[in-house]
Structure 1
Amino acid sequence: MTRIEAGYSIIVDGPACIRLLSGALRVLGVEYRGRGKIIVREGRSIPLEFLEDSEIEVVSASNPPFERVKGEVFPREWIETIEDIARLDRIDALVLGGVDVGKSTFTLMLANYILNMGVKPVAVIDGDLGQTDIGPPGALSYVMLDKPTVDLFNLKFEEAVFIGSLTPYNSIDEVVRSLVYLKSKASSSSRATVTNTDGWFTTEAIPYKARIIEELKPRVVVVIDGDIDLGLIEDKAKIIGSAIIKLPPPKCIRGKSRSDRKSRRELCYRKYFIDSAVRKIPISWIRFLNLPIGLGAILQADRLKEISKILGFDCIYGEHTGSILYVIARIDSDKPIETEYSGVRCIVIPYKLIEGLLVGIYDHTEVFRGLGMVRSIFLDGDRGIVELITPYRGSISCLKAGFVRLDENFREIAKLKYSIPTR
């Protein structure tokens, strides 16, 4: 048991469990009095502000289990800005900033404060593909809050759009369109909307963030630690009538290494693959996006054997689509190989690029239903089969291929940096 005096704060790194035995504390705008329990998941750190002399018990994987801080852990400007936004008649905020500046923390604190003011539900839109708080990695999503929370991770998203990439760099148009779509859905049934964004906030990224402002048209744009030229962002905000508020980052935010970020994503993968099963689905029943599969005539076993002999590859599946022959083969290559077979252009896709491929699952209404991981694609008699690991049990209309591969324990083993030619 540890005693913490009023006016002090502690910063706890996860995984950890804090039990409040007596007193009062506040976590990201959520107050606990008397008794309570706070769970800090792996890869996350949170500050606890003590409102009264309190007794706590901390179980943590870290040593020491927490860092003690005298006084407030958040800049006074943060609290004032949150209070000002919460007083607006139409609450619609967009949060921008680089990596490790506290965007997710500010987003959640603002949402909790709005809820404490009696305004609900509050829609929180997660626009960070690589470090998601709500949906799975590679997806944009939103959640509706009707009560304060210290972590969005365990909440179920209302709707999500699977992009497939962990960065917006090569998917800007799709990301912006998806954010507009999610905001239109979220704002139709909420009294307040807070949109968080990714940490790509370099000079190169400013046009992308300015475009988000132009398309989402937020009432307020909060920029945390914007130590770059914001001229274009300020111009766009002025045109649509958005106020810009610049804030410093808090001292309590921990920096995360590449390894930390990867570990956080893998925790998310494991969450979304709980209770998974293997499903074998005829390729003719579904549609693929980002993969040239299911578009042409399936090559039968004798033809595959002939192609394997001539090309010198072990071909396990193939299709003839228009003027291109696509075959999946066991070859030692990290990218597709273009060759020729009997005068026909042939794209050879290494089997290892298919095995473990992360995919987004969509139903017949084109609603994202969850994640899948391709275990195999093969020929069964005269039918093509995709073997899929997924917790989703419903009907599948479409599989959208992502740019990440996972192993059997849902750890990232590769990020694909190219697309397979389709013409």
Structure 2
Amino acid sequence: MPKITIPEGYTLIVEGEASFRVLGGELRAYGSILEADREYTVEPLRAVPLYALKDSEIDLYTGRVSFVKGDTVPPSREEVFRILEKDAKKIMIVGGLDSGKTSVATFLANKFAEKGEKVAVVDADIGQKSIGPPTTIGLGIIEKPVLTLSEAHFIDGFFVGNITPAGLLHRHVAGVKLLVDKAEDELKADRIIIDTTGWVTELEGRELKLFKALVAKPDVALIVSRPNECIQMEKILGQVTKTIRIDVPQLVKARDRIDRKEYRKYQYRKYLANAKTTKVSFVGRKILYTLTFTGNELGKNELTRLEYILGSRVHYAEMSDDHVSIFSEKSVPEEISSFLKAMYGHRRARIITGAEFMHTLVGISGDGKMLKGIGIISGVDLSSRSFEVLSNVDIGENDTIMFGLVKVNPLTFEEETIIEKTVFFREPRPLQRFILPLPGQTCSSTSPGQQAESCIPFLLVQACGA
């Protein structure tokens, strides 16, 4: 455990994963004086600046450090705080990737907490979380200064289900709205800070910030950016709320895709520590974020007919207004889906073997919380119509399961893939040839859909396109 002395007027950058104890002196981090003889931790791929107001000393247990002369936190932070202190209850922080948004949020939370205020932080950066697990929006409370936002007391969250808001703006905006309302109405927070993603380019990225501002109604939007950046974003938000532009902190640590993925891996492991497997029935269960399990269950006779068509055991099938889902023990040629689509009146047909759900990340809601926890589907048992879900929370019969678009290996916690929202509803190739009835059967129509109804049971003879 090396002892490190930080001379007055210097900043020690501590890079995680790290832990240290303040032995003496006076160190400031993100606007707050660190407590003596208290152990602090820094998460992997994160860095914290410790500025010495006078000669100081720490015990470094783990981690890497480097020295910088002067304070890395711009003096303008104090000026901005004095402006916000007067009448800004809700503050939204906006900026590009690696612009230091979270450090600004931490600084402001600490300054307000030092004044005895109850600070709510809505962490909407679903890909690089400080509060709550990845793919979620988290709500935390800070009532005393913290070194990082991960020290906030987690209150609740909202499961978005992906590491990016692209294509899911509706969920993202709804989650921010619900958690801001909870912070304001239920928690009676004195201040609410909304930390956002770094997506500020393209129409969708800018509209995401605009709609967040429209539903959250911040008193101020802080634009954390370098000169000549976020110009359009500032103009757009300036039409719905007050904006203040602030500088990017010195020595902001840039992270690439690999770094970001590694950090999420660390967080999956953190939030699934000591997880256990629970068998969860998918029949009669409240399930969201998937079209499957939302239709009307087909009866035993229909399952028998489907087994004859597919040549495979069918454990469950359901039909809705626009699709039919069939749980089959074996996969079948894509052409069969085309036939089933015609048979069921041109609905989309989906053949499910269970493998499609393996390792899917899920959110769990219940016990009065929008986000009780997360889990990973580690097994599928079609015969008992159930999933095995690996989670560190107890999954009750009345809890809701929300399907994500991310697959995570339950052993290594590596992200395996991002599921395309339309992957299960790809349009199959159309029928191109003909269907022959079995002996004794006749067909009364030449259209594929009507043939299918009048020729069951049947034989397929070069029925689908090559």
Q: Normalising by structure 1, what TM-score? A: 0.87
Unpaired runs of 5+ in structure 2? 428-466
Establish whether residue 210 from structure 1 lines up as the match of residue 210 from structure 2.
yes
Change (3 A) 1:336 1:158: farther
Q: Which residue of 2 aligns with 1:346?
A: 349
- Contact 2:406/2:415 (8 A) holds in 1: yes
Cα RMSD after superposing both structures: 3.0
Structure 1 counterpart of 2:366, one-letter code: D
Which moves more between the two structures, 6-15 or 393-402? 393-402
Q: Secondary structure at the match of 2:112?
A: helix
Counterparts of 1:320 and 1:113, CA distance in 2: 55
| 365-374 vs 212-221, which moves further | 365-374
Question: Is contact 1:140-1:178 (8 Å) kept?
Answer: yes
CA distance in 2, matches of 1:337, 1:245: 59
Matched residue, 1:245: 244
Using the alignment, how far apart are the partners of 1:88 and 1:336 within structure 2?
66
The answer as to whether partners of 2:6 and 2:52 remain within 8 angstroms in 1 is yes
From 72, 95, 108, the equivalent of 2:106 is 108
Q: Structure 2 matches for 1:276-291, cutoff 5 A?
A: 276-291=275-290
The one-letter amino acid paired with 1:214 is L
Q: Which residue of 2 aligns with 1:124?
A: 121
What's the counterpart of residue 296 of structure 2? 296
Change (3 A) 1:168 1:296: same
CA drift of 1:72 comes to 1.1
Contact 1:112–1:149 (CA under 8 A) maintained in structure 2: yes
Tell me if the contact between 2:118 and 2:141 (Cα under 8 Å) persists in the aligned partners.
yes
Q: Compared with structure 1, are the counterparts of its residues 258 and 305 closer, same or farther at alpha carbon in structure 2 (3 Å cutoff)?
A: farther
Q: How many Å apart are 1:317 and its aligned residue?
A: 4.7
Counterpart pick for 2:14 among 12, 15, 28: 12
Number of the residue aligned with 2:408: 406
Deviates further, 42-51 or 275-284: 275-284
Partners of 1:39 and 1:196 in 2: CA distance: 21
**1:318 corresponds to 2:319:** no
By how many angstroms is 1:296 displaced? 3.5
- Cα pair distance change 1:93/1:340, threshold 3 Å: same
Asked whether 1:21 is paired with 2:20, we answer no
- d(CA) in 2 for partners of 1:104 and 1:97? 10
Following the alignment from structure 2 to structure 1, what is the Cα–Cα distance between the partners of residues 409 and 336? 23
Higher mean displacement: 297-306 or 179-188: 297-306
- The residue type paired with residue 238 of structure 2 is A
In the alignment, residue 349 of structure 2 is paired with which amino acid? C
For structure 1, list consecutive stretches of 5 or more residues without a partner in the other structure. none
Distance 1:293 1:253 in 2: 46
Q: 2:155 aligned with 1:158, yes or no?
A: yes
SS at match of 1:190: coil
Of residues 25, 30, 52, the one that matches 2:54 is: 52
State the Cα deviation string for residues 346-400 of structure 1 (Å, max 9, x = none).
31236433011111112275732111211223233xx412221112215243211
For the residue of structure 2 that corresponds to 1:367, the secondary structure is strand
Identity %: 24
The 1-side partners of 2:376 and 2:190 are apart by: 37
Change over 3 Å in CA distance of 1:365–1:193 after alignment to 2: closer
Residue 397 to residue 117, structure 1, CA distance change in 2 (3 Å): closer
**Structure 1 segment 20-419 matched on structure 2, within 5 A:** 20-32=22-34, 34-61=36-63, 65-85=64-84, 87-118=85-116, 120-188=117-185, 189-204=188-203, 205-225=205-225, 227-228=228-229, 230-231=231-232, 233-238=234-239, 240=240, 242-291=241-290, 292-293=292-293, 295-297=295-297, 303=303, 307=307, 311=310, 317-322=315-320, 324-327=324-327, 338-341=337-340, 343-344=343-344, 346-349=349-352, 351-363=354-366, 367-380=370-383, 383-395=384-396, 396-409=398-411, 410-419=413-422
Most deviating of 37-46 and 412-421: 412-421
State how far apart, in whole Å, the 2-side matches of 1:332 and 1:18 are.
58
**Aligned partners of 1:146 and 1:398: how far apart in 2?**
31
| Secondary structure in structure 2 of the residue aligned to 1:15 | strand
Please say if residues 203 and 229 of structure 1, whose CA atoms lie closer than 8 Å, have aligned partners that are also in contact. no
User: Which amino acid is the alignment partner of residue 264 of structure 1?
Assistant: Y
The residue type equivalent to 1:327 in the other structure is F
Q: CA deviation at 1:297?
A: 2.4
Question: Across the two proteins, how many residue pairs are aligned to each other?
Answer: 411
Question: Deviations 1:138-164 (Å, cap 9, x if unpaired)?
Answer: 111211111111123244421211111
For the 8 Å contact 1:304–1:317, the answer to whether it is kept is no
What secondary structure does 1:21 align onto? strand
Q: Residue type of the partner of 2:420?
A: K
